[in-house]
Amino acid sequence: MGKIKILFICHGNICRSPMSEFVLKDMVEQRGLTEQFEIASAATSTEEIWNGKGNPIYPPAQAELKKHGIGKTAYTNFAGKRAQTEADCKAMLARTQQEIQQRRAAFDRRASELLDGYHSTEFLPEERAK
């Protein structure tokens, strides 16, 4: 079986989606499952990308991750993370219906095919086995 690819999205990719990316990476790493996942985050806009270079994670978001011990390993190190737009993925986790609709046309998928970021547990191996 190939890697499970997860892409978190938000408007600018400097707060919500990178925080989600690194929280999940931390959870995956703690369970020893890093080889089974490809986890990333991206923006639905280019607002935080200037001349081809994305802005870093918003400092208060970085502080919150650090407060919870996230970022101390090579797998969860977010120091070099920069805002970017979408990458190839199988599941896209969005917080709002607007974000899902923005991606709907880009990926030519029905909105219902995109996982609900608040309610889906489909990406966890133990939940997929049920």
- Where in the sequence numbering do the catalytic residues fall? 10, 16
Which one, of 45, 47, 130, 36, lies nearest residue 90 by Cα?
A: 36
Long-range contacts of 64-72 (CB under 8 A, 24+ apart): 64/19, 65/19, 65/22, 65/23, 68/23, 68/26, 69/26, 70/22, 70/23, 70/25, 70/26, 71/22
The dihedrals phi and psi of 112, each to the nearest 5 degrees, come to: -70, -15
